[in-house]
Amino acid sequence: MEHGQAIPQTTIEPHRDPGDFVAEEARIKKAKPNYIGVFILLAILTAIEIGIVSLFHKENGNSTVGRVPILLGLTVAKGLLVILYYMHLKFDSRLYSIFFGAGVLAFALPMVIAFIFLMSPPQLHSVRAEAGEGGTGGEQGPTAPSFVGPPITFDAEGGEFYFKPDALAAQAGQGVRVTLTNVGSVEHTFAISNKPKSEDPTPWTTNDGKEIAHAPAGSTGKGSFKAPTPGEYLFYCDVPGHAQAGMVGTFTVQ
């Protein structure tokens, strides 16, 4: 009986017959989807997206909140164009849409939303605070100065036993990207003191500093940090004996 029920369906609506491509194609041809037009529309929407991003710069990696819904809306519009026209869902059997829609709406979308809300809320505030902050600057917490602007780069050469250049200046809260090129024959590091020079003139003996970059002999090490509160600090190589031998530089925070 089940068999009998299904077959008449194909006759009542002959265009549902999958093998009969002629009927299906006839419908698509009749609809005459303008694929080039769809592409132009997709390109324009993408150009608008890029335009929005270029016009409203990210502040230290954070989106200005208002543009997110606009960008997501444009993305959904682009996605629908691809699905409805390029993937033919607009002209095809509704059953395909149901299978795909079920996947997206019942599983994929709720999963993304659940992930974000279940995993993120406790950290949401810190996410905003940490963006643009150095990897080791987290513990500075709420007292960390906020600085809006691009990070600076500090390319230093390290050898036995010197830094070149041996002075670095940054704004409080500014991100500093360090590249240490080791031209020597033993390993060297780039570390900064936690306390100002006046409070701790030899951080390498008190061990009160942070290693930012590490470069084995003949290679390059990279790292970054966020400049602390204003003052005069030291940067040094934390390999025992190296700072004493002269691998020290001054780090001025304005």
Question: What's the rounded Cα separation, in Å, for the pair 70 and 66?
Answer: 7
Amino acid at 144: A
Q: Nearer to another protein by C-beta: 118 or 207? A: 118
10 binds another protein (CB under 8 A): yes
Q: Nearer to another protein by C-beta: 224 or 243? A: 224
**Interactions with another protein, residue window 21-50 (CB under 8 A):** 21, 25, 28-29, 35-36, 38-39, 42-43, 46, 49-50
Minimum Å distance from CB 33 to another protein?
8
61 binds another protein (CB under 8 A): yes
51 binds another protein (CB under 8 A): no
- In this chain, which stretch among 16-24, 141-149, 158-166, 245-253 interacts with another protein, using CB under 8 A? 16-24
Q: Nearer to another protein by C-beta: 53 or 245? A: 53
- Other beta carbons within 10 angstroms of residue 25's beta carbon come to 11
63 binds another protein (CB under 8 A): yes
133 binds another protein (CB under 8 A): yes
Residues 170, 176 contacting (CB under 8 angstroms):
yes
151 binds another protein (CB under 8 A): yes
Give the number of residues in contact with another protein, rule: CB under 8 A.
81
Question: What's the rounded Cα separation, in Å, for the pair 71 and 45?
Answer: 10
- The residue from 78, 90, 195, 197 that contacts another protein (CB under 8 A) is 78
Question: What's the rounded Cα separation, in Å, for the pair 127 and 41?
Answer: 35
HSE, side-chain direction, 13 A CA sphere, residue 111: 7
148 binds another protein (CB under 8 A): no
- The residue from 27, 125, 127, 232 that contacts another protein (CB under 8 A) is 127
Which 8-state DSSP code applies to residue 243? T
Q: In the chain, count H helices and then E strands.
A: 8, 9
**Interactions with another protein, residue window 221-250 (CB under 8 A):** 222, 224, 226
131 binds another protein (CB under 8 A): yes
158 binds another protein (CB under 8 A): no
Q: Nearer to another protein by C-beta: 86 or 165? A: 86
What are the phi and psi torsion angles at 155 (to 5°)? -100, 110
**Residue 133 is encoded by which pair of tokens?**
């902050």
Minimum Å distance from CB 50 to another protein?
5
Q: What is the DSSP string of 28-44?
A: HHHH---HHHHHHHHHH
119 binds another protein (CB under 8 A): yes
Q: Report angle CA 176, 205, 250 to the nearest 5 degrees.
A: 35
CA distances from 7 to 26, 93, 133 (A): 22, 16, 66
**Residue 40 is encoded by which pair of tokens?**
């132009």
**Interactions with another protein, residue window 85-114 (CB under 8 A):** 85-88, 93, 95-96, 99-100, 102-104, 107-109, 111-112, 114
Question: What's the rounded Cα separation, in Å, for the pair 200 and 49?
Answer: 50
